[in-house]
Structure 1
Amino acid sequence: MRLAKTNRVRDKYRTLTEILKTNGYYQGVTHKLHVLPNEKFPHHEFLHGGRTEIASFIKNATERERPSLLMVSIPNSHRPYPNSDKTTIRVSPNEVQLPPYLADSPEVHKDWAEYLAEIEQADALTGEALDVLEQSGQSDNTIVIFMSDHGPTFQHGKMTLYDLGLRMPLIIRGPGIISGERCPELVSEMDLLPTILNLCQIDQTFDYPLHGKSLAVLLASDESAKGHDYLFAEISNRGPLPNDGMQERSVFHGRWKLVYREKVDTAWRQVNADSREFRIWGNQTYSETIRLKEEDPMQYQILAKMDPQNLGGKVPTSERYDLKSDPDEMQNLASFAQHRDQRTRLLSVLRE
């Protein structure tokens, strides 16, 4: 109940669902909504997903002669991943290449392979939804946005500010959008609200500043269009913890990333259950990394830093990475004198 009272959208902030409803849109969402309060997300239909329900929603919107938005929340992104002991998966654990921040053992290979198998399932369900859209005859008149959740439940992933925890796919297609192109500009999830309003030609004013900006010009492949100079992220760790939580912030400008923290010695980090528990969530990597802490000490230190209150890890106040030469963020350059100017500049931008 405490979280339900604090982790909620405040009345003055207008959600996309509210704005589209005001503008006559018929809206639906599949699977979990996972936001509070429900009245800030006034969908007309709450669905379980699947071909039949998606087709029914499109039919209902068409019959009402109303523009529509359907958010297909594919559930295949979280643990438990497919259990390869019980279900045949196409991904071979022996053939997967583990990222360097994970301990190397057959169990971890199996865990990572099952994660990749889960991605395959999500991909198949995405294709299913697009196929239903195509069969409805509305595909050419529909903006499609594909995005993902943030980070798999491994070290450097979910609930961290590393690339595995922040970077996500974003694919947009639709009328007036150039197809088959990859944009190198920095963009954010927060850009989606102004982008959708722009593409749908909805003029909406706000009593507060938006942190995102419309990507419509980028989508039209205007060579003069630019994304963000910097992307910011944060983890407040204000959840079911016995204290206020460690404060974590990051700034990234396409190559260099700075992570800055406060309360590293006094506060806890929030570690989700699926990032460490096997019995319910099937996580094999957490306990396996502990078992192999003598053979793979670096990987254990990374795990202990993720869960310092239980494993005694030392969390640094500052981390800095060059993602061009170190995309897995394994070498913290915060103490390197030759990169001090980069740290000063990024920290100044972050504080501003």
Structure 2
Amino acid sequence: MVAFAAIASQTYAIERPNIILVFADDISARELPLYGSSVWSPPSGGNTSEVALRAQTPAIDQMAAEGCWVKTAWASVVCSPSRAMMMTGRYAHLHKWWNNKDKGRYIDANGKSVTWPLYKSSPRLIGHVAQQAGYATYWAGKTQMAGDLREFGFDQGCFTPGELADTDNPFTDFKMYEKKVDGKKHLFNSDTDQPIDTYLQHGWYWNPHVRLMKHAGKLNGFQWWPNTAESKKTFGLNTYGPDVELDFIFDFMDRQQADGKPFFVYHTSHLGHDAFDWLNPESPSKWPGTPVVKWDGKGYTRTDSHVTGDKGVYDVHGTVTEPGIHNHVNYLDYQIWLYRNKLQELGIADNTVMIFCADNGTSGYGKSSSDRQKGTHVPLIILAPGMTKHGRQDVLVSMADMLPTIADLTGTKIPSDYEVNGDSFVPFLFTDKTKHRDWIYGYNGADQIIRGDLVMKDGKGKWWDVSAEPDDLISFPEIKDWNVVSDDHRNERDTLRAVLPQFNLHANEHDAPGVDLLATAVKPKHIPKPVKTVDTSVRTEPNASSNAGERKLLFADKFDGRTRPGEQYTIARGTDGAWTIRDGVLYGRQTNDDHGAVIRKPMNFKDIDIEFDFRFNGGSHFNFVLDDQNEKSVHSGHICRVSISPKMVSVSDDKSGSMNLEVRKQRQDKNLSEEGKAALEATLAATQASAPVSLKGPDWHHARIQLQGDTLAVSIDGKSVVHFESSGISHPTKSKFGMTVNGSTIDFDNLQVFSIQP
């Protein structure tokens, strides 16, 4: 890493610059006119080319002209993993935050499996890096971090979280609560006590929830704001959360300037995020209006907000804009203008670096999408005194690059044995370098997204020619025939393929090192009482996908006449309450958000034919595993498995593939050669197969899993789905089989196990 201080001492006057990093929420690059897209987002989400719904960003445009803006900057596809990438400078294979609802876990001091906090997985967070260099640090806005917020390297904070735990806020009733009506949970608006159709949230825009960290002498604590007689008097419907954040940031900047200490501001604004519109409860828009601001060609004026009313009936008196993300972007532009004015006022504009970026694509367009770069493509604008780069920069940048960039700007050295996946942007910004990165990478759960200058592989496994930029920034031509593209395209494809295996650890290293837990799933809002709709008689008829000979019944269980599985099964430690029997149905469910449900049937076999009925009753998917507990060449004795979800059935040869100890060692080898990486990816691809299905949650389905020789075949409801051959499947002995349920509930019945006679 090149230390910025060394660069500065040689060529530039700037040293130990103040740093302001504005990290906006859910804003695709296409929402900024700077990026020249022919399409952007309307108030209801989706696509529009209506000019009146396009943002106007004169302050950001000026910042980009005096500094620079990056054509292709990537985050991850959704909030939590992107913020983890920014905070750590690392990808999910290290910090384990794969998706908002799919985060790795560890065992805490109380023996409970909980989300692995980033300060545990990555002890050098972006705040710590600045603190190490002697900077005062401030964090404002959205948090969305697990664990103790005081452990992230920030001296103070002003948070507008809207978190669901913030029900004790005494200053606002812009909250939501759940209540049972006729035995079912419904969501209610605390302001009106009326049911609403949205997701559970509290207000962070108007009349917001605001919590301060280590403020005004409370060195170790948190407090609600307003916290003084004056602020309590003025707080109310006219209080706008993004304004409160900036007021506290500016107060912090004033204090640091007075003390002569450099500062780092991490401003994780909510602006851009969709939300319930408390002032207009019936509004169909995704983005509530903002205070009215107007640009006169030289600067902004803001209309003082005037909101009156109560209990869901409000009059904004023309002081709040119409809804839409374009107005959120406009308000961010107004705040950038305020920032720059404040720097001039304090006399530190020539010694301050400003960075504007966002965490993922726009809701209703790119957020959570692994399609091409819809979810990953975000704006990035940087202004730093002494830069050699100005205007548009056609380079590749990752949000993981921000931590090492901050390290270089502050003069902090990251130890060589501490893995960081980002690359400092400082050498590019301040020298004559013309290239920054060869590739950028994103992720969404198990989906991996990667691109270079010429080609891109998205999370759906499709390849795209990105050598030219389409008008809408997304309609790249798909590459279906590699013979019609250039050698350079093919060479870059091979390079990207070789990169991916080192990060592809979602399936086998999901949690903290040494912790082997199951993936988390979303709890359903309601679990209906099961009603069987399939024949419960023993099924011995031949299956269309079968290549087996005569069958002999070895074991059967209709789960009748009891409430527990019994001693004939083994239940994983810590999940004893996860398996119950009611009315002849076996229920497997996660007993809490931090653990899955595991059940196994000990039985010695080589080939086997298994049938059972199942139904998704809130659970996301289940694995049917076939193991040999005595086999030491694989992790946990895993030989092969079938994974079934409502949309996909997958099978894998674990012995030859991902669970093989030698393969796992290669996957963990950070110094694996390019040839080794390519060979590893080929091995993994050759030892698994999948096929799409469409299985409705309320319906019962019938599965048949046949293992014979080196073949594993799966059929659902009498139709062949996957038929896969691989050498590891023919392992001569297996000692148990069973299910692992991810999610709230999956129901099972009519388990039958047959031997296969040659």
TM over 0.5: yes
Q: Check conservation: 2:368, 2:444, Cα contact below 8 A.
A: yes
Residue of structure 2 equivalent to 1:67: 262
Q: Check conservation: 1:76, 1:122, Cα contact below 8 A.
A: yes
Shift of 1:178: 3.0
Does 2:131 align with 1:18?
Answer: no
Shift of 1:47: 2.1
Shift of 1:175: 2.8
Alpha-carbon distance in structure 2 between the residues aligned to 1:67 and 1:225:
30
Residue of structure 2 equivalent to 1:212: 422
Question: Secondary structure of the equivalent of 1:72?
Answer: strand
Alpha-carbon distance in structure 1 between the residues aligned to 2:260 and 2:476:
56
Bigger Rg, structure 1 or 2: 2
Shift of 1:17: 1.0
Residue of structure 1 equivalent to 2:355: 145
Alignment of 1:54-203 (within 5 A): 54-80=249-275, 114-155=324-365, 157-161=366-370, 162-178=372-388, 180-203=390-413
Q: Check conservation: 1:191, 1:213, Cα contact below 8 A.
A: yes
Alpha-carbon distance in structure 2 between the residues aligned to 1:334 and 1:318:
11
Question: Secondary structure of the equivalent of 1:133?
Answer: helix
Does 2:152 align with 1:41?
Answer: yes
* Aligned equivalent of 2:436, options 227, 252, 262: 227
Which string of whole-angstrom CA distances, capped at 9 and with x for unpartnered residues, describes residues 72-101 of structure 1? 2222110039878895989xxxxxxxxxxx
Is there any run of 5+ residues in structure 2 with no aligned partner, and where?
1-100, 106-113, 160-243, 294-322, 502-676, 678-758
Q: Check conservation: 1:333, 1:339, Cα contact below 8 A.
A: no
Shift of 1:330: 4.7
Residue of structure 1 equivalent to 2:115: 6
Alpha-carbon distance in structure 1 between the residues aligned to 2:289 and 2:402:
37
Shift of 1:61: 1.2
Q: Check conservation: 1:81, 1:114, Cα contact below 8 A.
A: no
Residue of structure 2 equivalent to 1:350: 500
Shift of 1:182: 2.5
Q: Check conservation: 1:47, 1:53, Cα contact below 8 A.
A: yes
Residue of structure 2 equivalent to 1:257: 456
Say what the alpha-carbon RMSD is for the aligned residues. Answer: 3.3
Shift of 1:152: 0.5
Question: Secondary structure of the equivalent of 1:204?
Answer: coil
Q: Normalised by the size of structure 2, how large is the TM-score?
A: 0.32
Is there any run of 5+ residues in structure 1 with no aligned partner, and where?
91-112, 237-246, 261-316
Residue of structure 2 equivalent to 1:53: 248
Cα 1:254–1:179 shift into 2, 3 Å: closer
Q: Check conservation: 1:234, 1:250, Cα contact below 8 A.
A: yes
Shift of 1:145: 1.2
Cα 1:339–1:173 shift into 2, 3 Å: same
Q: Check conservation: 1:81, 1:118, Cα contact below 8 A.
A: no
Which string of whole-angstrom CA distances, capped at 9 and with x for unpartnered residues, describes residues 204-228 of structure 1? 3153221111111211141x44211
Q: Check conservation: 1:9, 1:40, Cα contact below 8 A.
A: no
Alpha-carbon distance in structure 2 between the residues aligned to 1:339 and 1:249:
25
Q: Check conservation: 2:353, 2:383, Cα contact below 8 A.
A: yes
Which string of whole-angstrom CA distances, capped at 9 and with x for unpartnered residues, describes residues 181-205 of structure 1? 3221211111111111112222231
Letter in 1 for 2:478: L
Q: Check conservation: 1:133, 1:139, Cα contact below 8 A.
A: yes
Residue of structure 2 equivalent to 1:296: none
Which string of whole-angstrom CA distances, capped at 9 and with x for unpartnered residues, describes residues 264-305 of structure 1? xxxxxxxxxxxxxxxxxxxxxxxxxxxxxxxxxxxxxxxxxx
Letter in 1 for 2:398: S
Shift of 1:336: 3.3
Which string of whole-angstrom CA distances, capped at 9 and with x for unpartnered residues, describes residues 227-269 of structure 1? 1111111111xxxxxxxxxx21111012321124xxxxxxxxx
Letter in 1 for 2:455: W
Letter in 2 for 1:233: G
Residue of structure 2 equivalent to 1:318: 461
Shift of 1:151: 0.6
Q: Check conservation: 2:441, 2:448, Cα contact below 8 A.
A: yes
Q: Check conservation: 2:455, 2:493, Cα contact below 8 A.
A: no
Shift of 1:335: 3.6
Cα 1:137–1:230 shift into 2, 3 Å: same
Alpha-carbon distance in structure 1 between the residues aligned to 2:331 and 2:388:
28
Q: Check conservation: 2:289, 2:324, Cα contact below 8 A.
A: no
Alpha-carbon distance in structure 1 between the residues aligned to 2:325 and 2:411:
39
Alpha-carbon distance in structure 2 between the residues aligned to 1:256 and 1:335:
12
Q: Check conservation: 1:195, 1:213, Cα contact below 8 A.
A: yes
Which string of whole-angstrom CA distances, capped at 9 and with x for unpartnered residues, describes residues 22-41 of structure 1? 33211111112222332431
Q: Name the structure with the higher helix share.
A: 1
Residue of structure 1 equivalent to 2:165: none
Q: Check conservation: 1:54, 1:132, Cα contact below 8 A.
A: no
Cα 1:164–1:221 shift into 2, 3 Å: farther
Alpha-carbon distance in structure 2 between the residues aligned to 1:179 and 1:131:
23
Letter in 2 for 1:228: R
Letter in 1 for 2:462: E
Which string of whole-angstrom CA distances, capped at 9 and with x for unpartnered residues, describes residues 1-46 of structure 1? 9968225215252112123223321111111222233243131221
Q: Name the structure with the higher strand share.
A: 2
Letter in 2 for 1:257: M
Which string of whole-angstrom CA distances, capped at 9 and with x for unpartnered residues, describes residues 85-131 of structure 1? 895989xxxxxxxxxxxxxxxxxxxxxx8222222122222222222
Q: Check conservation: 1:142, 1:175, Cα contact below 8 A.
A: yes
Alpha-carbon distance in structure 1 between the residues aligned to 2:453 and 2:335:
31
Alpha-carbon distance in structure 2 between the residues aligned to 1:65 and 1:87:
38
Question: Secondary structure of the equivalent of 1:143?
Answer: strand
The number of residue pairs the alignment matches comes to 263
Alpha-carbon distance in structure 1 between the residues aligned to 2:324 and 2:473:
21
Shift of 1:348: 3.6
Bigger mean CA deviation after superposition, 337-346 or 250-259: 337-346
Q: Check conservation: 1:321, 1:329, Cα contact below 8 A.
A: no
Bigger mean CA deviation after superposition, 140-149 or 72-81: 72-81
Shift of 1:344: 5.4
Alpha-carbon distance in structure 2 between the residues aligned to 1:325 and 1:176:
30
Alpha-carbon distance in structure 2 between the residues aligned to 1:193 and 1:329:
28
Cα 1:338–1:154 shift into 2, 3 Å: farther
Alpha-carbon distance in structure 2 between the residues aligned to 1:75 and 1:142:
23
Q: Check conservation: 1:319, 1:332, Cα contact below 8 A.
A: no
Letter in 2 for 1:158: K
Question: Secondary structure of the equivalent of 1:184?
Answer: strand
